[in-house]
Amino acid sequence: MSQAVYFYGTCLVDLFYPEAGMAGIELLRREGLEVVFPQGQTCCGQPAFNCGYSEEARAVARAQVALFPEPWPVIVPSGSCAAMMRRHYPELFAGEPDLPAAAALAGRVHELTEFLVGVLGVKLVDRGQPVRVTWHASCHALRELGVREEPKALLAQLANVELVALARERECCGFGGTFAVRFPEISGAMVADKAADVAATGAVELLAADCGCLLNIGGKLAKSGSAVRPRHIAEFLWERTRPATGAPAPAAAMAGAVAGASPRGTGASAHGTGAPPHGTGAPSPGAGDP
């Protein structure tokens, strides 16, 4: 069997951006990985955890921990959910009998772009038309995972993509889970500023790697009649680099078929040992300066 990874879709991707999830899976499959998507998965537990409902969060997180028994990397197309699992599961399970299992899972969690760049070193070939896009950096990817340059490094590989930076790329969009509905006026002011920042770039697409931000900024853009399309970066990357034939080929064939897709030679075997070194491309939390 080729090297396997788990994919943790997250509840927002599952219900609102499933094509972004599929695109993430296809991007991994193209690198020769076998992607396993446990159908029992639901939500990482972050909404309740952040609101102070730890017991409820733990019950839901516990159900997730049980779904990833093999020592494979767990790839998450969301900085926020990845941060919940990597940074907060050990704390959430402190003093619980299943702490070892939760901590072991935490140590295997990778945000998608971090994994694509830092572990797989993917090489992308742009097949799309020239386009101008902008990028919103999500707070938790930036500050809890230390994922800063990886998404932009992926976009930089696409020859026909012009990335115009937001004036305040690192400023929160105002989502914040229940914050958006507990303080709709403040959150609304934050997202209005973000949408104006997006509009000022002249981009036709707003890319992000967190669906909470996309729901928020996208909802504001739509409400204000903007034509800017909000999209998860995985969907954008896959659409522009997928083979022209359309339907994805089986993973095994894909690995060898796409020129330049496997940086380390021969597809599946290139990815080596069972668990990619955890921490690659993930500096210590809270590091860095604006």
Q: Tokens at residue 238, please?
A: 């896959």
Which CB atom, from 126 or from 205, has the smaller least distance to other proteins?
205
* CB 95, CB 129: distance < 8 Å: no
Minimum gap (Å) between residue 76 Cβ and other proteins: 12
Residue whose CB is less far from other proteins, 9 or 161: 9
CB of 237 to other proteins, least distance (A): 17
Q: How far is the CB of 212 from other proteins (least distance, A)?
A: 10
Strand order in the sheet with 131-135: 161-163, 131-135, 205-208, 229-232
CB 21 within 8 Å of CB 13: yes
Using the minimum distance from each CB to other proteins, give the nearer residue, 48 or 102: 48
- 23 vs 109, which CB is nearer to other proteins? 23
C-alpha 280/C-alpha 8 separation (Å) is 19
The smaller minimum CB distance to other proteins, of residues 14 and 162, is found at 14
CB 273 within 8 A of CB 4: no
User: Smallest distance from the beta carbon of 194 to other proteins, in angstroms?
Assistant: 10
CB-based burial of residue 113 (10 Å sphere; 0-12 exposed, 13-18 middle, 19+ buried)?
A: buried
Of the pair 49, 236, the CB lying nearest other proteins is at: 49
Structure token pair of residue 63: 């159900």
Q: Which residues of 214-250 are buried (b: 16+ CB within 10 A; e: fewer)?
A: bbbbbebbeeeebebebbbbbbbbbebbbeeeeebee
Q: How far is the CB of 130 from other proteins (least distance, A)?
A: 28
Rounded CA separation 87/75 (Å): 15
Nearest-approach distance from CB 57 to other proteins, in angstroms? 8
Q: Measured between alpha carbons, how far apart are the two ends of the chain, in Å?
A: 44
Q: How far is the CB of 78 from other proteins (least distance, A)?
A: 12
- Beta bridge partners of residue 161, listed in sequence order: 131
Q: With respect to other proteins, which residue has the nearer C-beta, 158 or 267?
A: 267
